Structure 1
Amino acid sequence: MKPQDFIALIGPAAQACHKSQGVPASITVSQAALESGWGESGLTKTAKNLFGIKADSLWRGETVMLDTKEFIRGQWVVVPAKWRKYPTWQASVDDHAAFLKRNPRYKDCFLCVSAQTFARALLKAGYATDPDYADKLIRLIGTYSLASLDGEGV
């Protein structure tokens, strides 16, 4: 999918989550773009999981098993993982915001005053194992002018 089409599809849902949960829309869209390969990843096509959110013991919804790459002890390794499965992309966007909001390890993200600092706080809190994760989000935000989705306050 073309980036512009992806942004047009998920942007409104991201903006709604920004208002209701406080996650900057630019973060939601950049994470979804990065994690899903602009909606083209196997996980996204199989499970409508835009954000690479794994299914932990608290998850009560459907799941799917797929391999993933993790950065462990300084190297990339392929490991099997159980992922959350959603009925729609909207459900994935909504759950992503709720997941960040209710998980105490991400509380510092919500103290941030910019999408860039939010991205760095996500990495620090352990959202991804990729040491370049925050920089990748920030680059996407700049390249595709995603900050325009945030409106005032972020």
Structure 2
Amino acid sequence: MTPKDFIAAIGPAAHASMQTTKIPASVTIAQAALESSWGARCPGFNLFGIKATPDWTGATTMQPTGEVVNGKSIKIKAKFRAYPDWLGSINDHAQFLLKNKRYLPAFTYTDDGEAFARAVAAAGYATDPDYAAKLVSIIRAHNLATFDK
């Protein structure tokens, strides 16, 4: 699937989610693109790489993943949330951001996808120290801010 095809496939759902959650669609699309390699790697339709914590009661899948620990890249196996389809993943991602207090500062930037992305990264969404820069690069390269209108 090309980036253009991927954006066309999830863009409408990301925009619809934005209408009720205020999470910029550009961020939802950029995170999904980055975390799933444009839909190529999303076992269990998990577009966002959300791990299954002990309180998760839904389906799961064990997958190898890369993490950055103490500045070093390592490979581990981890339990991830699983969904019946991409829409389920998008909806859960929104709830994940809304319910986790550490992401609350991001919601002061609902009118600025790039700032929202930086705030989510600063709150520790991923262990990659370049996560925010990568999201912003995807938003800009694919003109994803148009989905935020």
Same fold (TM over 0.5): yes
RMSD: 0.7
Tell me how far apart the structure 1 counterparts of residues 117 and 148 of structure 2 sit (CA, whole Å): 14
Report the CA distance between 1:144 and its aligned residue: 0.3
- Three-state SS of the structure 2 residue aligned to 1:76 is strand
Deviation at 1:80, TM superposition (A): 1.1
1:133 matched to which residue of 2?
131
Cα distance in 2 between the residues matched to 1:130 and 1:146: 22
Code of the aligned partner of 2:136: I
- In the TM superposition, 1:40-59 aligns within 5 A as 40-41=40-41, 44=42, 46-59=43-56
1:48 alignment partner AA: F
Paired position in structure 2 for 1:73: 70
TM-score under structure 2 length normalisation: 0.97
Q: TM-score, normalised by structure 1?
A: 0.94
The total of aligned residue pairs comes to 148
Q: Residue 57 of structure 1: CA displacement?
A: 1.1
SS at match of 1:58: coil
Mapped partners of 1:9, 1:75: distance in 2: 35
The alignment partner of 1:116 has SS state of helix
Look up the equivalent residue of 2:15 and give its one-letter code.
Q
What aligned pairs does 1:104-119 form with structure 2 within 5 A after superposition? 104-112=101-109, 113-119=111-117
Deviations 1:6-62 (CA, angstroms, capped at 9, x unpaired) = 000100000011111111000000000000000001xx1x31000000000111100
Between the aligned partners of 2:117 and 2:84, the Cα distance in structure 1 is: 27
- Partners of 1:119 and 1:82 in 2: CA distance: 24
Which residue of the partner structure matches residue 120 of structure 2? Answer: 122
The corresponding residue for 1:9 is 9
Q: Percent identity?
A: 50
Match for 2:135: what amino acid?
A: L
Extract unaligned runs of 5+ from structure 1. Answer: none
Specify the code of the residue in structure 1 equivalent to 2:47: L
Amino acid at match of 1:86: Y
Deviation at 1:119, TM superposition (A): 1.0
